[in-house]
């Protein structure tokens, strides 16, 4: 068993392979996403709680995923709405905090309201923070942060800003950078996930498609992380 000091505080997960999983089984593509939302994410949150991991971020929908068409986006957002409606109250009772990052203004109004409600209701929960990255892209986040800085500078008349001040304008302000990022599905790239925050993240890639990524695979990733030497440029 890996000891707590060897475990990351924050793990980011690039959810990949849902559509390929469904195609291989002759299902509609959205079936893979349904399994991810209704089964896999729950199991990973529960296991992360047991391992005392404090932050778990899932990249659910990227700014590039709009290219898959409105039908895909609508189906995925409906799944997310259903999942939140069915599970958010139970998560709240379990002292789980919900945080959402991304450009939420482009989401359906109902989903925006639901996410806003549960973020506010769970904001003081302490057991684990589950971060959902929805309509999120790393470059997009940095551009939006720069826009916020410009608006702020007009008011404050600042001529310079340092790294620590800039981070206050990111979606993830108040959340520690991820020590490890897991990508399922066989691709070996971050594709814009947490570009600023991933400066010193350990990157773990697996061929396992996300609907098949269970407790065993999660523990294998944690075991791999525990053997890494994190030198931070030293």
What residues are annotated to the active site? 16, 65
Residues linked to residue 181 through DSSP beta bridges, in sequence order: 12, 203
219: tokens are 């523990």
71: tokens are 């039908």
Strands 202-205 and 55-62, bridge-based pairing: unpaired
127: tokens are 């057991």
Range 222-228 contact pairs with CB under 8 angstroms and sequence separation of 24 or more: 222/2, 222/7, 222/8, 222/51, 223/2, 225/6, 225/7, 225/8, 225/179, 225/180, 226/2, 226/6, 226/7, 228/202
Residues whose CB falls within 8 Å of the CB of residue 206, separated by 6 or more in sequence, listed in order: 182, 183, 184, 185, 186, 213, 217, 220, 221
Closest CA to 183 of 147, 159, 208, 158: 208
Return the ∠ at Cα 194 (arms to 71 and 189), rounded to 5°.
Answer: 75
Return the ∠ at Cα 158 (arms to 157 and 163), rounded to 5°.
Answer: 155
Distance CA 18, CA 129 (A): 24
């Amino acid at each position: 068993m890996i000891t707590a000091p060897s475990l990351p505080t924050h793990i980011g997960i690039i959810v990949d392979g849902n559509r390929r999983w469904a195609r291989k089984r002759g299902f509609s593509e959205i079936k893979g996403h349904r399994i991810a939302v209704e089964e896999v994410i729950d199991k990973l949150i529960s296991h992360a709680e047991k391992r005392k991991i404090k932050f778990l971020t899932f990249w659910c929908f990227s700014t590039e995923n709009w290219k898959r068409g409105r039908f895909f986006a609508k189906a995925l957002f409906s799944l997310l709405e259903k999942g939140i409606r069915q599970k958010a109250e139970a998560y709240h009772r379990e002292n789980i905090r919900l945080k959402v990052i991304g450009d939420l203004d482009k989401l359906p109004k109902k989903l925006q309201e639901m996410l806003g409600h549960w973020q506010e209701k769970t904001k003081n929960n302490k057991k684990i923070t589950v971060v959902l990255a929805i309509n999120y892209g790393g470059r997009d986040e940095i551009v939006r942060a720069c826009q916020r800085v410009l608006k702020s500078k007009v008011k404050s008349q600042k001529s310079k800003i340092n790294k620590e001040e800039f981070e206050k304008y990111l979606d993830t302000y108040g959340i520690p950078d991820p020590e490890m990022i897991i990508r399922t599905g066989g691709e070996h790239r971050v594709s814009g996930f947490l570009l600023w925050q991933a400066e010193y993240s350990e990157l773990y890639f697996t061929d396992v498609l996300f609907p098949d990524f269970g407790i065993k695979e999660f523990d294998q990733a944690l075991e791999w992380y525990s053997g890494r030497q994190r030198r931070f440029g030293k």
